[in-house]
Amino acid sequence: MSAHIQVAVGDTAPDFTLPDAQGKQVTLSSFQGKSSIVLYFYPKDNTPGCTTEACAFRDNYEVFQTEGAEVIGVSSDSEESHQDFAGKQRLPFILLSDKNGATRKLFGVPASLGVIPGRVTYVIDKKGVVRHIFNSQTNPLKHIEESLTVLRKINAE
């Protein structure tokens, strides 16, 4: 698979397994049939935009749960960094460590300015189908808003 292939709306989300903040392996397909997934890729733990985004997901986490969704954040940071970030910000959702960026490549998440890892959110339904993709490096809060709108649409179907 070429690195230039991008996941599109309507595609089945590519499956992957990555370690969470505690080092436990988490596989995307294990959520299939159980919950929708809001999978968000972000540049780096403890940076202003990423902290704003993570805290907004935290503050709306119960709403996501009510909408039948699990929130999963992915960056290239280590498990230790995620543990620190999640502890400091009291994040109730899963953070996964994509150290070599393979999962980011698998989804075709573009880099901003060619160097900064992209900030892209994928809303994946219970069947594992990508229903929405939102890409904005500079508007972290819009990721939460967009995701909730799409989840409500999916749930109304």
Alpha-carbon distance of 74 to 26, in angstroms, equals 11
pLDDT tens, 46-86?
Answer: 999 999 999 999 999 999 999 999 999 999 999 999 999 99
pLDDT tens, 86-129?
Answer: 999 999 999 999 999 999 999 999 888 778 899 999 999 999 99
To the query of whether residue 50 is one of the catalytic residues in this protein, the response is yes
The CATH code that applies to domain 17-156 is 3.40.30.10
What confidence score (pLDDT) does residue 3 get? 43
What confidence score (pLDDT) does residue 5 get? 67
Closest CA to 105 of 74, 83, 130, 81: 74
Report the pLDDT averaged over residues 128-133. Answer: 97
**Pairing outcome for strands 130-135 and 17-19:** unpaired
What confidence score (pLDDT) does residue 116 get? 85
pTM listed for this prediction: 0.94
The residues, any chain, with a CB within 8 Å of residue 130's CB and separated by 6 or more, are: 7, 8, 9, 10, 11, 12, 13, 122, 123, 124
What confidence score (pLDDT) does residue 139 get? 93
What confidence score (pLDDT) does residue 1 get? 36
**In whole numbers, what is the pLDDT of the chain averaged over residues?**
94
Closest CA to 69 of 131, 118, 119: 131
* Domain map (residue ranges) of the chain: 17-156
**Could you say which of 50, 96, 150, 151 is catalytic?**
50
Alpha-carbon distance of 45 to 77, in angstroms, equals 7
Return the sign of the alpha-carbon dihedral for residues 117, 105, 89, 36.
positive
Q: How far is CA 137 from CA 16, 110, 115, 143, in A?
A: 23, 10, 12, 10
Residue 149 above 70 pLDDT?
A: yes
